[in-house]
Copies of this chain bind each other. A is one copy, B any other.
Amino acid sequence: MSNPSGTRIPGRNFLAVPGPTNIPDQVLRSMVVSMEDHRSSKFPELANGVLSDLKALYKTTTGQPFIFPSSGTGAWEAALTNTLSPGDKVVVARFGQFSHLWADMAHRLGFEVQIVDVEWGEGVPVERIEEILRADKQHTIKGILACHNETATGVTSDIGALRAAMDNARHPALLFVDGVSSIGCIDFRMDDWRVDLAVTGSQKGLMLPAGLGILCVSQKALKASETATSRRCYFDLADMIKANATGYFPYTPALPLLYGLRTALDLLFEEGLDNVFARHHYLAQGVRAAITEGWDLGVCAKAPKWHSDTVSAIVVPEKFNAAHVIDRAYRRYNLALGAGLSKVAGKVFRIGHLGDLNELMLMGAIAGAEMAMLDIGIDVRPGSGTGAAAQYWRTHERTQKKPAQRQEKRNETRAAAVA
């Protein structure tokens, strides 16, 4: 890469933003394809394969996945406009930039949005949602929007608990979940949690460039889409359902990304989904050891139960500007860290630890962040971050104890999904 002044900075860029993530060589390679006729008799093999295998990724057998040529933002929109009618009321817990943006989108698309504000650093307030739902005797609330993993603060919410709260309140609202920075990284159980609309994108856990907005839709939500009157065309599920049924798409698909998705799914299944989740937890724990034990700093997430296994927002000491850490890391060490957004701008920098990662890639990010902090005057001991991470990783396993069983389980899920 070249830096802004035009001089080449040698060596590989360390990409430690929470998405887009590093593309494995196999995936990169699989996207080097000639164009082909997307109406050919051969095409459905590719389309059907990835659509079917996405079910295993979502851990669903009854949901239906959709792939849009769009970013994840497009899948957010598809989820809303396909199932809600103008003026419909939704409840959104807001505790970071992405939960804010989704709420804002719902508002702009003409829905009534009840925002439940929570301090940034916490996640979905399950009890408050339950109260709100219990109070809604008329069932005017049509949907609950929840960010599974708030990328801006590094906070993971408990979607299973949210589902339980909805069940407790016996409320029929649809459960919308933003899984952009969780699906493929953190355990996500579409069927177990009866999620109705689960959004993700290609550029995070799926280890691809951006360009695919992915949405998985429950039968309940599909039914709702039949009567929802919001105007939609590009993102209309009905067109997709009709075309996908024959193995095609209603308009020209982003071919290289579909081939890349094929390979990415193969890699995830080869590793084993539960091993992928275990690895993300293991790597995240090492990064957190660097932050808290090594550097003696805190993360934005208020308590361990909110700790995200895909991204950590590191709070810099008060008198420093986190943006300077990021700038120094980028210009001097070729390391891309995530910025603090909105309320936490300048207060935090973020290390994404999701996707195709291992210990040493993160060691580079930790070492680079450490040097950048030292360079702008933050008092951390050289080697403290990498040392703490090393101690964690050396003494813990990357994968689960009983991969065989889990592998089997995954295969069952997948077999069921394929069947």
Interface residues of A (CB under 8 A from B): 1-4, 7-15, 17, 19-25, 28-42, 45, 68-74, 76-77, 86, 105, 108-110, 201, 203, 209-211, 230-236, 250-257, 267, 270-271, 276, 279, 294, 327, 330-331, 333-336, 338-339, 356-361, 363-365, 367-368, 370-371, 374-375, 381-391, 393-394
Give which listed residue, B15, B257, B361, B365, contacts A35 with CB less than 8 A. Answer: B15
By a CB distance below 8 angstroms, the chain B residues around A230 are 231
The listed residue with most B CB atoms (<10 A of its CB), out of A21, A42, A267, A368, is A42
How many copies of the chain does the oligomer comprise? 4
In the docked arrangement, what's the CA distance between A335 and B68, Å? 28
**Contact of A2 with B334 in the complex, beta carbons under 8 Å:** no
Top-10 shortest CB links A-B: A383-B387, A11-B358, A383-B383, A360-B364, A37-B336, A211-B254, A363-B367, A382-B387, A210-B252, A20-B35
**Distance in Å: Cβ of A277 to nearest Cβ of chain B:** 12
In the docked arrangement, what's the CA distance between A8 and B24, Å? 12
The listed residue with most B CB atoms (<10 A of its CB), out of A3, A108, A233, A374, is A233
Which residue of chain B lies nearest to A211 when distances are taken between CB atoms in the complex? B254
**Distance in Å: Cβ of A120 to nearest Cβ of chain B:** 19
Contacts A32-B32, A254-B254 given: A210-B20 contact, CB under 8 Å?
no
**Contact of A359 with B363 in the complex, beta carbons under 8 Å:** no
Give which listed residue, B37, B210, B234, B382, contacts A74 with CB less than 8 A. Answer: B234
By a CB distance below 8 angstroms, the chain B residues around A390 are 367, 370-371, 374, 382-383
**Distance in Å: Cβ of A73 to nearest Cβ of chain B:** 4
**Distance in Å: Cβ of A79 to nearest Cβ of chain B:** 11
**Contact of B4 with A12 in the complex, beta carbons under 8 Å:** no
**Distance in Å: Cβ of A27 to nearest Cβ of chain B:** 11
18 further interface pairs, Cβ-Cβ under 8 Å (given A77-B233, A294-B383): A4-B45, A11-B357, A15-B35, A29-B29, A35-B203, A37-B338, A68-B70, A209-B256, A210-B251, A211-B254, A230-B231, A231-B231, A256-B256, A374-B390, A382-B387, A382-B388, A383-B383, A384-B387
By a CB distance below 8 angstroms, the chain B residues around A235 are 234
In the docked arrangement, what's the CA distance between A338 and B37, Å? 8
**Contact of A71 with B252 in the complex, beta carbons under 8 Å:** yes
In the docked arrangement, what's the CA distance between A381 and B209, Å? 39
**Contact of B10 with A255 in the complex, beta carbons under 8 Å:** no
Contacts A8-B267, A356-B10 given: A39-B339 contact, CB under 8 Å?
yes
Contacts A32-B29, A360-B364 given: A8-B271 contact, CB under 8 Å?
yes
By a CB distance below 8 angstroms, the chain B residues around A15 are 34-37
Give which listed residue, B231, B333, B381, contacts A360 with CB less than 8 A. Answer: B333
By a CB distance below 8 angstroms, the chain B residues around A8 are 267, 270-271
By a CB distance below 8 angstroms, the chain B residues around A374 are 390, 394
In the docked arrangement, what's the CA distance between A253 and B201, Å? 11
The listed residue with most B CB atoms (<10 A of its CB), out of A338, A357, A363, is A363
**Contact of A12 with B1 in the complex, beta carbons under 8 Å:** no
By a CB distance below 8 angstroms, the chain B residues around A279 are 10
**Contact of B368 with A363 in the complex, beta carbons under 8 Å:** yes
**Contact of B29 with A71 in the complex, beta carbons under 8 Å:** no
By a CB distance below 8 angstroms, the chain B residues around A86 are 231
**Distance in Å: Cβ of A232 to nearest Cβ of chain B:** 8
By a CB distance below 8 angstroms, the chain B residues around A71 are 69, 251-254
In the docked arrangement, what's the CA distance between A92 and B316, Å? 58
**Contact of A41 with B4 in the complex, beta carbons under 8 Å:** yes
In the docked arrangement, what's the CA distance between A8 and B41, Å? 14
List 27 A-B pairs, Cβ < 8 Å.
A4-B41, A4-B42, A11-B22, A11-B358, A12-B25, A12-B358, A13-B36, A14-B360, A25-B34, A37-B338, A41-B327, A69-B71, A71-B254, A76-B234, A105-B233, A109-B232, A209-B254, A209-B256, A210-B251, A211-B257, A333-B358, A359-B371, A360-B364, A360-B367, A363-B363, A382-B386, A387-B387
